[in-house]
Chains A and B, each alone.
Chain A
């Protein structure tokens, strides 16, 4: 029996979503309270072990700079992963090399295969005289 993966709404997904929503709202409220309430009031309420107020500004700025850097780095990674013009990966790969070269039977839809580049070039660029 196969388990179907589908993106449709389910009761479990609704519960996860609501828990995430409540959690994120609470987290934001906590962040705002910690950033604005002076240290003396927090200490007098008994809450002494908090990170330094410096991080209330530093953490969002770190996050935004990281996002911008990742955006630029993504282009760089893409360009590095592109095969150079002199690479064999532009011509063939291990799947094309190890493909089945058997001839097709008569009247059958031809098998899907990778046509060698020499053949393609001859088709495209050399003039053929129609018989």
Chain B
């Protein structure tokens, strides 16, 4: 049970929560900042003023109603599909790893990776847009071929924590993985 001040790659503050359920089971939750009311109001005002400007010149009321519908639909799509509230990594030694993303509307998307397919959990650096970032990823192997990495699953993609947060999660995971090797 530990909570400290961390930030993501853009400087927004996030929080990391580590829970130790037992000697071989740990859960890490990275929580992104909540949707800011100020941003929502600014976007809505911009779109509605723009729509009113178009209405002013064209005298067509459909522009106004479509702007309202567009803002409503856009907000619903955003909180249901785009805005991630928290991401969870649950590691159970000798069983596997569960990744879960919880969206702002309450929707949860979960995947499970069994231990025989998991080669390692590492911190890798890669080019992302205009910069190079550190990110935690799971190396997947085929149980028949233990030395080849067949695919890579990046973790905490929506919150993108910085290195200090990743190192803490990495050390904790390696303790569990070392027990089960």
Count residues on chain A whose CB falls below 8 Å from chain B CBs: 18
Assess whether A49 is interfacial by the CB under 8 Å rule. Answer: no
With a cutoff of 8 Å between Cβ atoms, the chain B residues found around residue A92 in the complex are: 149
Chain A binding surface SS class: helix
Tell me whether A117 and B167 are in contact (CB under 8 A). Answer: no
Assess whether A68 is interfacial by the CB under 8 Å rule. Answer: no
Chain A interface residues toward B at CB < 8 A: 79, 82-83, 85-88, 90-92, 97, 117-118, 121-122, 124-126
Tell me whether B124 and A91 are in contact (CB under 8 A). Answer: yes
Tell me whether B126 and A121 are in contact (CB under 8 A). Answer: no
Chain B interface residues toward A at CB < 8 A: 119-120, 122-124, 126-129, 135, 137, 139, 148-154, 157, 167, 170-171, 174
> Across chains A and B, which 8 residue pairs bring their CB atoms closest together, nearest first?
A85-B154, A90-B126, A118-B120, A121-B122, A86-B154, A117-B122, A125-B167, A82-B127
Tell me whether B127 and A88 are in contact (CB under 8 A). Answer: no
B144 to chain A, nearest CB (A): 16
With a cutoff of 8 Å between Cβ atoms, the chain A residues found around residue B154 in the complex are: 85-86
Tell me whether A126 and B149 are in contact (CB under 8 A). Answer: no
Tell me whether A121 and B123 are in contact (CB under 8 A). Answer: yes
Interchain CA distance A92-B170 in the complex, whole Å: 20
Residue in A82, A125, A126 with the greatest tally of chain B CB atoms within 10 Å: A125
Contact residue among B135, B150, B167, B174 (Cβ-Cβ distance under 8 Å from A88): B150
Given the interface contacts A85-B137, A125-B170, does A90 sit within 8 Å of B124 by beta carbon?
A: yes
Given the interface contacts A85-B157, A126-B171, does A97 sit within 8 Å of B148 by beta carbon?
A: yes
B16 to chain A, nearest CB (A): 16
Further pairs besides A86-B154, A117-B120: 10, Cβ < 8 Å? A82-B127, A83-B127, A85-B128, A85-B157, A86-B153, A91-B139, A118-B139, A121-B120, A121-B123, A124-B123
